[in-house]
Structures are given as structure tokens and as C-alpha cells.
A and B are shown apart, each in its own frame.
Chain A
Amino acid sequence: MTRKGISKYTREKAAFSILRISLFLVLLILGIILYDIASKGLGVISWEFLTQPPRAGMTAGGIFPAMVGTFYVTVLAALLAVPLGIATAIYLNEYAQKGSLTRLIRISLRNLAGVPSIVFGLFGVALFVQKFGWGASLLAAGMTLGLLTLPVTVTAAEEALKTVPRSYREGGLALGATRWQMISTLVLPPAIPGMLTGVILGLARAAGETAPILFTGAAFFLPFLPGSPFSQFMALPYHLFVLATQHHDISTVRPLAYGTALVLLVLVFLLNLGAIVLRYRFRGHLQKGR
């Protein structure tokens, strides 16, 4: 049973060691990033930082308008992406004939998810800012972020619909349910938490995007909160970009930049945590029924 050279057990050990080292490297890099941001940003986090607008040429004060702006623009993105994305997914998965056209639409959506966000930004300028005449505004930026999220939303919603067993659908139809009754009462309820999980993950990504809002509504500095959907606004990722590269005194505001990054990270983390909680409740639901 002995073979020349390295034994299969040694090979296995080597293989697993490489895998383990890879995992460790990934965790290490992640840890360094988090530590770097947290250690340098934690110092500036204060009640004032979270509740006040920037002051003194953005060298002091807080980031409150940017937090509010990011919140608004994310909500607007959700208003576009959630209903439209879920409806599209239902149509594609439940109604559309399985053919080359459906396949083409699906491939296009997947490709759309890979389009660089700056391209979405340019598209938003052309359509919302100029063509629709909304100007650089919350609305234009929100819709642009919504479009960016849309392919992710559709894909996530479709995956959620696919997890609903065929036996529910057949059981419903065999009782004399119409297709829509079957979908609305048997397919959507178990699919909705999964859909929302995907939606939240998509929105979390959108909330951290800079490029799509850069030309469509984000402002360099505004000491007040946006008053209407057509106002310009400050946003966390753009504020960070400004503090890190555009400010006249970058080295002075560096701690503020780290503080902003930390707030943005925590925000995205909270959104993802929400998605995780939702997913666990969803699993419990399925086991317990309703």
C-alpha cells in the first residue's frame, strides 16, 4: 500500500493547510481594515459629530446632514427598486414563457448588475437630471441608485421565488385557485422574507455608492437638511470622498474622514444585520408554519 513520494495523507494535510492559510489571510486583511478605520475614526465620534452639520470649512462639526441625505436617498432607491424588482421577478419566474426571449432578458439583467456604477451615474444625469428636468436632486440621485439596485433586487427576488416548492403551486392550482390567487397566497408569503433579504443587501451596497450620486445630486457642502425631493443633499460616501481628496486641508480633516467611514460602515453593517435577522426568522417561520 505504500507509494513512492509523498503519501496521500501528507498531500491532504498540505491541501488543507493552504486552504486554512487563505482563509486566515482574508480574515487578516478584513481585520486590518476594520481596525484601521475603527481606531482612527472612533476618536472623533461624539454626540456632536452625529447630530451637527460640518462647521468651519468642514474642519469641525459633524456629519448629520450627510447621514440624513444617505438615509433619504436610500429610501428613494428602495421605493423604485423594491416594487419594480419584485414585480419583475414574479413576472419572469411565474408568468413568462420559458423561451429564448426570457433567457435573453435574464442574461441582460445579470449583465446590468455588472455595469460599473459610474455608468449608472452618467445615465442618471442624462435621464433624470437633464431629460426629466429634475436637476441635481435627491430624487434624481435616489432613482439612479434605485436603477443600480434593480438587477440585484430582481435576481434576489427570483431566487427567493425559486425556493418555494412546486408542490405548493400544484396544490393550490388543483384546488381551483387562479394563477394569481396561487401566487399571492401560496408563493409570495414564504418568498417575501427571502426577497427582502436580497433587497436589503442590494440597498446596503447602494447606500455606500459614490459614483452614481456624484453628478446626480450630492452636494460638496450644505449646512442644512434637504427640504424637498428636488433639493441637493450631502451623503456619507461623497462626504468621505470630499474629506479624503477634495478638501483644502486634507491632513487636518483626516480624522473626520475616518469618523465618516466608520459611521458608513456601521450603517451598512446594521442593514446587513437586519437582512440576517430576517433570514433567520424566515427559516423559523417555515418550520413552524404560521
Chain B
Amino acid sequence: MEATMNLKDKDFVPFKEEQPNSSRVVVYYDPKSNGTGKRPARKEKVKVEKLAFYYGTKQALQNINLDIIANEVTALIGPSGCGKTTYLRIINRMNDLIPGSRIEGKVLIDGEDIYGPEVDVVELRRRVGLVFQQPNPFPKSIYENVAYGPRIHGIRKKSLLDEIVEESLKQAALWDEVKDRFKDSALSLSGGQQQRLCIARVLAVRPEILLMDEPTSALDPVATQRIEDLIRTLASNYTIIIVTHNMQQAARISDTTAFFLLGEMVEQGKTSQIFTRPRDRRTEEYITGRFG
């Protein structure tokens, strides 16, 4: 926490990127690089081993082994209360905020244990962005919403902020709709626009992983379609994990699908395989609509 507070004192602090071999190379922000650039195919970005999670005495997840491949869209499906969202929020440690919660097992991002004692949670959350179920723009202007992340990470220069805001809004496919009304309140946008603004807000801190918790459940079909297109586009630059209740959505946009049931991960595989030849009978029953 201290370190991050101090960052604010400097005029401009570039975003840092973890390189392999842990030699920390400082990369000055370049809006055209889109963060990390291409990665080798089928490389695990997140490794989860024997994960268990408890809310007080209630066990929410047990023995989860689920790896997430870099630059893919991974969909988590399953009935309500099966632990999908819990799993999602473990990856950027948002569950830390819940009093009495407890975690067992290992969660590694790029080989680093994110629950290790050395980990800077604030920096972790910068690297692992979260888009919420309900669009939650701040009660500020459109511009200030997107600039919020870069600002708290120490960027002060107006021209650089302008660049980041523009680039993020373009990536989130919102630029054309808001470029003439930056100063308007974010709350004046429609629900679908608000959600894309929230995605732009996350992209502005140049995360590596995007977590999305049912991002379209509060939106109409047209807005949903736009967000789905956006997710497909973003997948080339980000590792995306999306929780969804909508199985057609999972089938449309994801490369990999994992099926959760009662706190366990029942099955994980290529989306085409899960939806055509599920290995587990419970998966088949769920996707064919026999329960859930």
C-alpha cells in the first residue's frame, strides 16, 4: 500500500510489466502496444491448484483445478450459487474484502502465487481487471471515469491522459458515441453504454486479464450483442474470463468453457467439445436444460 501511495508523488509513473525471467523492464506507456502484445499460443496465464474457498464455515469451492489459457476467452457456466463468481473474484483477490473468508490451495498468475506474502494486492488488481454484473460508473464525467484508473496510478500529464482515454474508449467501442460529450455525466449514458464505459475504465489501466461477472445480464439484446462483439475483439490482446448464465453466450464467444456445480468444477474443455460432446453426464444435463 505504501509503495503505491508514494507513486502518486512522482509526476508520471509508467506502467510496469512483468517480463519472464523477472527482470522488471519498465515500458513507457504506448497506447498502440495494447499492453502485452501477442503471446505464444496455448500458454497458461492463470494456474489454479487444489483451490478451496470458505465464507465463514460454508464451503463455496472445493478442489478446483482450472487453468486459464492466455489470450483466450474462458466461459464459466453453471447454476446460481455454484461458485463461478467466487472463483472469478479469487483471481483479483476481491474476495479478500469479505470478512471471515478463507482460501486454500494455490492461484498462480504467470507462475507467481498471487496469495503469497510478497504480493502487492493493489498492483494485482491493476493487472487483473474486473467488470461487474451491474454497470457501475462513478458519478463523474465520462472522461473522468476512464481517466480514474490512470490517475490513481500516478499519471498526471493531461496529454497522456487524453491519449489513454481516447484509446480505451475506442477499444471499448464507445468512442464514436461519446467523443462529443466527454464532460457529460457517465450516469446519463444508457445501460449498455455504461457497461462499455466500465470496460473502457478497466482497459485504461492496461490489465493483462479481464474478469467479467455476467456483464450483459442487465442489458437488452442489442447492447448484449455489442458487448459480445467487443469481448471477441479484446480476446486477441487480453486473457478473458467471463461468468455467464446464458449458455448461447458462452457458446458464441468463448474458446474454453468450464462447468461448475455445487462448488466443484465438473468439466473443462474446448467450448465446441463441451457443447457437443460433454464427457460428464451432469454437464450434458445442464447444457441440454434438464436442470439449472
Residues of chain A at the chain B interface (Cβ within 8 Å): 97-98, 165, 167-168, 170-181, 185-186, 190, 285-290
Contact = CB atoms under 8 A, between A and B. Distances in A.
A175 B125 contact: yes
A173 B138 contact: no
A290 B5 contact: no
A174 B129 contact: yes
B99 A98 contact: yes
A173 B1 contact: no
B246 interface: no
Contacts of A176: 4, 122-127, 149, 152-153, 205
Contact of B139 (A174, A175, A289): A289
Nearest to B149: A175
B136 A171 contact: yes
28 contacts: A98-B99, A168-B136, A170-B136, A171-B132, A171-B137, A172-B148, A173-B94, A174-B92, A174-B125, A176-B4, A176-B122, A176-B152, A177-B122, A177-B152, A179-B1, A180-B1, A186-B138, A286-B139, A288-B185, A289-B139, A289-B141, A289-B184, A289-B185, A289-B186, A289-B187, A289-B188, A290-B139, A290-B141
Nearest to A290: B140
A284 to B, nearest CB: 11
Given A290-B140, A290-B141, A178 B1 contact: yes
Given A170-B132, A173-B94, A181-B152, 19 more contacts: A168-B139, A170-B94, A171-B132, A172-B148, A173-B97, A173-B125, A174-B94, A175-B125, A175-B129, A175-B201, A176-B122, A176-B124, A178-B1, A178-B122, A181-B5, A288-B187, A289-B139, A289-B184, A289-B188
Contacts of B186: 289
Question: Which 10 pairs between the two chains have the least Cβ-Cβ distance?
Answer: A289-B185, A176-B126, A167-B136, A174-B130, A176-B125, A175-B149, A171-B136, A177-B152, A181-B152, A289-B139
Contacts of A180: 1, 5
Contacts of B137: 171
Nearest to A190: B139
Contacts of A165: 136
A268 to B, nearest CB: 32
Given A97-B99, A180-B5, A289-B187, A175 B148 contact: yes
Nearest to A175: B149
Nearest to A177: B152
B207 to A, nearest CB: 9
Determine chain B's interface SS by DSSP, over half rule: helix
Contacts of B152: 172, 175-178, 181, 185
Contacts of B94: 170, 173-174
Which of A171, A173, A177 has the most chain B CB within a 10 Å cutoff?
Answer: A171
A180 to B, nearest CB: 7
B198 interface: yes
B153 to A, nearest CB: 7
Contacts, number: 87
A165 B205 CA distance: 23
B202 interface: yes
A185 B147 CA distance: 12
B144 interface: yes
B189 to A, nearest CB: 10
Contacts of B4: 176, 178
A181 B6 CA distance: 12
Contacts of A178: 1, 4-5, 122, 152
B63 interface: no
Nearest to A99: B99
A173 B1 CA distance: 12
Which of A178, A180, A185, A287 has the most chain B CB within a 10 Å cutoff?
Answer: A178
Contact of A168 (B129, B138, B185): B138
A167 B134 CA distance: 9
Given A167-B134, A289-B185, A289-B187, A175 B126 contact: yes
A290 B183 CA distance: 8
B277 to A, nearest CB: 36
Interface string B199-223: 0011001000000000000000000
A165 B136 CA distance: 9
A285 B185 CA distance: 10
Contacts of B92: 174
Which of A98, A173, A176, A288 has the most chain B CB within a 10 Å cutoff?
Answer: A176
Interface string B141-165: 1001000110011000000000000
Contacts of B122: 176-178
A288 B189 CA distance: 11
Given A175-B149, A175-B205, A181-B152, A289 B132 contact: no
